[in-house]
Chains A and B, each alone.
Chain A
Amino acid sequence: MSLMILTVNGQTYTVDVDPEMPLLYVLTEDLSLRGPKYGCGLGQCGSCVAIVNGRAERTCVTPVSRVEGATITTLEGLGTPEEPHPLQQAFIDEQAAQCGFCLSGVILTAKALFDENPQATESEIQAALRNVLCRCFAQTRMLRAIRRYAQERV
């Protein structure tokens, strides 16, 4: 076990954990966050995504030791139900979900893309979302929501 300092959604935490443990379990167990989720534990599906130092990372395969001192944003860190982030609002406006289990992967991957590349093209959006799974297959609406966000922010 080791003491680690992480900044998550604007708050700094010191946690005492096995450094080999994936970041996901710090977020869900130690910090009781609901945004990132265990989907596959293999980095394949995207339901565990958080933005770590500006990049959309699969937290289920990221040892916490690798992100010591990092700035981390989960779905909770973007906005609240009362005041959603514009990207989250676009998902509400487009009714872009079914079960909603995949939303950390879809929304945060898109968020990290636009933060880095505000002019991201359609093919860049698709490339970024290449490995994000949604088994309810709400993808048409999700892409509409991402496009809406892209258009409204320029």
Chain B
Amino acid sequence: MGGSHTSLPVESRLTPAARRQLHPAGYSRRRFLQRSGALIVAFAAAEMADRFGVAPTVSAQGGNTPQTLDSWLSIDASGHVTAYTGRAELGQGMATVQTQLVAEELSVPMSRVTLVQCDTALTPDQGTSSGSMAHPVNFNDGNLALAGATAREALFEMAATRLGVAVDQLTAADGVINPLGDASRRVTYGELIGDRRFSMALSPEAKRKSPSSWSVLGTSVPRLDLPELVTGRFEFVDNVRVPDMVHGRVVRPPAVGAKVVSVDEDSVAGLPGVLKVVVQNDFVGIVAETLWQAMEAARSLSVTWSQGTGLPDQSGFYDYLRQHPSRRSTQVVSSDNVDATLSRTTTILESTYLHPFQMHGSMGSACAVADVRSDTVTIWSATQAVYPLRETTAMVLGRSPEHVRVIFVRGSGCYGINGADTVSYDAALMSQAVSRPVRVQLSREDEMAWGENYGLPYVIDQRVGVDGTGNIIAWDVESWSARRGGRPGSTTPGNVATGALLGFPPAPFIPRAQAPEPIWFNNRGNAAPSYVTGRVGQTMGGTGTVAIQRVVQHVVPSPFLTGPLRSPRRLQNTFAHESFMDEIAVSVRVDSVEYRLRHLADPRLREVTNAAAKTADWQTRPSPRSDNPRTGVVSGRGIACVLYEGDNGYVALVAEVDVDQDTGEIAVTRFVVALDVGPISSPDGVRNQLEGGLLQGLSRAVSEEVTWDSEKVTSVDWAGYKSLFLPDWYHLRSKVGSQIPLIETVLINRPEDQAMGAGETAITVVAAAVGNAIFDATGVRLREVPFTPERVRAALAGSR
């Protein structure tokens, strides 16, 4: 159970325990290769690039993606395939579906494919596994998919020579190539390439298999990790144990901005097992022999802290954002006639939408193990960015990145940037101090107050002009948000808590009062609503018809570290746009679906909207329902749609809700979601993501909010940070009889199109669809997330 440490396996299957063996073997891919005998791993990207005259490309999310086949795939003498990926399994099924991809392209059973993920000694540098990019990056025309196609074509060429048959007269199945119609002559992959390098570049011309011939990809393959997960055998980062390992615990400041004045080491003198108190700038940690001793010692350690820097009053925080004197402004789109048009328009609608700081709130408090030695550093981490973490850990330790190896080991679901990176620094610092491997697990409070980077707060002003026919003629959006820190990337450890405590600055905030003219329509944050044309210069990058448009956003410095919580910016902006679109439709007494379609030009966004409405049996009529009573439980429906990130997943959602007008409680009775993300790699995998995204979105829409007082965050456990628990959303359902929450998914499969991301689509539209349904049921509009019972009651009271 603790992982035995035997000699290096000569086959290419690598269990986590086996990977751990490798750490004395070397830290660069090249050294690893030299030491690892039959294990075939590629040279470092730069060297191969030099050899083949191919420049390493920079992927969409950083990284130096190697263009050499051996960096991605190897095949041993038995025909077993090992694939190397820089895209991590985070609980979303990426390991299974990437295994499907490799098995499909190479025509081998999945059982003959081992996927090695995210290890700076072994796998390609694919930057950060973030957002909804894992799928597009590895399932289109580059990277892992291209490696599979290149390898298949190379194997066919070799087989053609071996068998004396033209390539187009060959067929492959089960790792064996034979002439079409002649099973007697055959050659296996193992015979063709076994244990040798391909020594070739990825071929941009290599053709992927036609989706019409897929037998593994595109099917709902059960998750490979589930048998181990449900039986408690799966190794999470929490379970990593290495010889001689001891335990560290951090002691964080009691107030934001508080600094270490003094640490009284005598306060832990004589406590059992204590090895060392580690103080560096404002970082304080303590190392002990066992976990419990470290926990007890951390509780006992007496630290004197300075006063904090103080926090803005939470009740006035949205005004604070709006009025902050230092801000950085950006124009997403700006036609020159917005003000003139609006001044001539008789019907103007305006609303303001508010979204709070929210947490990732991972189930597990972050954990990492580090082994810092004189010549090497090994980090076992649940980071989503092994290569960037290698760089920043080197900075934290004052070491060279070449000496650092980061090995990804799964943690609990992350949804953005939880404490995985910061706790990796914690473990590294304490291991360096005691010259032994150190495991660090944050406490729940450490995780929630000082571990993670919160999702962004937003104030969003919306204004439109409506013409005499009821159509929108101009749309004007201005928003204020706050940011500080973020992903550390390769250069900025101060973007997360421990780096900041060590004195590394977060990424600088550079004010810019005057936003420059946009040079292209960048709608990655969904700052612009779906209903504008997105015209910049001569190109129209939007999905809508409204030509007169302006979207300006301001970012101000945040009092807390912030980061990319699932669907960052897109969720907050879409809540505002899609709620406001409903307000406009209501004002002109037009059905919400019909009104959207009137202003949508993009055929795929129209299609998902129609599909969701049709499946939900949407009745065409204006909102609100006219026949609902004003007391008791009433029902309503709402819709919202978006093209996530402006180009990465079409989604539409119909929500049906019950609202208890006496208590203010909300229950969603039915979600119908329609999705178009191009080719579907695993229908059940996508459904799982949609279902989880919808309910997580619901929790964020109705319940979740970071709270603070004048000096510190106060929502530091599950009593203070209110996630929906298992039965919460059934609470009201019992009144209406049904027990089963209905989630219906409509998947529009486009096998010949480009793959997009599914993971952050559904969550993006939940708050608006639910808010619109609450309006439909009650005639009351909620413009501030979360829609707590108190807020619903207050809104109802205010309107009646």
Contacts and interface: CB of A to CB of B under 8 A. Distances in A.
A64 to B, nearest CB: 10
A95 B234 contact: no
B227 A136 contact: no
Contact of B691 (A18, A31, A82, A138): A138
Contacts of A85: 231
Contacts of B441: 38
For the complex of A and B, the 6 pairs showing the least CB-CB separation, nearest first, are: A35-B232, A99-B91, A75-B232, A101-B412, A137-B695, A100-B229
Interface string A27-45: 0110111111111111011
A133 interface: yes
B364 interface: yes
A interface, by DSSP: helix, strand, loop or mixed? loop
B504 interface: no
Given A95-B688, A101-B413, A127-B727, A37 B364 contact: yes
Interface in B225-248: 225-236, 238-239, 241
Task: Please indicate which of the listed interface residues B2, B290, B364, B740 has the most CB atoms of chain A within 10 Å of its own CB.
Answer: B364
A91 B410 contact: no
Interface in A44-92: 44-45, 47, 74-76, 78-82, 84-85, 88, 91-92
B90 interface: yes
Contacts of B231: 35, 75-76, 78-81, 84-85, 88
B1 interface: yes
B735 to A, nearest CB: 13
B268 to A, nearest CB: 16
Given A45-B718, A107-B230, A135-B363, A98 B688 contact: yes
Contacts of B699: 137
Contact of A140 (B233, B291, B691): B691
A135 B413 contact: yes
Contact of B291 (A29, A91, A130): A29
Interface residues of B, number: 63
Contacts of B241: 32
Contacts of B718: 40, 42, 44-45, 133
A38 B227 contact: no
17 contacts: A25-B292, A29-B291, A29-B292, A34-B239, A36-B232, A44-B719, A74-B232, A76-B231, A81-B231, A88-B231, A97-B91, A132-B726, A133-B723, A134-B363, A137-B692, A139-B726, A140-B743
Contacts of A132: 725-726
Interface of A: 17-18, 21, 25, 28-29, 31-42, 44-45, 47, 74-76, 78-82, 84-85, 88, 91-92, 95, 97-104, 106-107, 122-123, 126-127, 129-143
Given A44-B718, A135-B696, A138-B688, A34 B232 contact: yes
Given A42-B444, A47-B363, A134-B363, A103 B739 contact: no
A136 B692 contact: yes
A103 B363 contact: no
Interface in B283-309: 290-292
Contacts of B415: 135
B443 interface: yes
B364 A136 contact: no
B628 interface: no
B717 interface: yes
Nearest to A131: B725
Contacts of B444: 39-42, 44
Contact of B229 (A29, A31, A103, A143): A103
Nearest to A132: B726
A37 B382 CA distance: 15
Contacts of A139: 695, 726
A31 B239 CA distance: 11
B436 interface: no
B742 to A, nearest CB: 9
B91 A38 contact: no
A76 B413 CA distance: 21
Interface string B402-435: 0000000011110100000000000000000000
Given A103-B230, A137-B692, 12 more contacts: A29-B290, A32-B241, A47-B364, A47-B412, A80-B231, A98-B413, A99-B91, A101-B413, A102-B412, A126-B739, A135-B363, A135-B723
A102 to B, nearest CB: 6
B7 interface: no
B361 interface: yes
Contacts of B238: 28, 37-38
Interface in B190-233: 222-223, 225-233
Task: Please indicate which of the listed interface residues A29, A33, A132, A137 has the most CB atoms of chain B within 10 Å of its own CB.
Answer: A137
Contacts of B363: 37, 39, 45, 47, 99, 101-102, 133-135
B799 interface: no
B92 interface: yes
A40 B448 CA distance: 10
Contacts of A31: 1
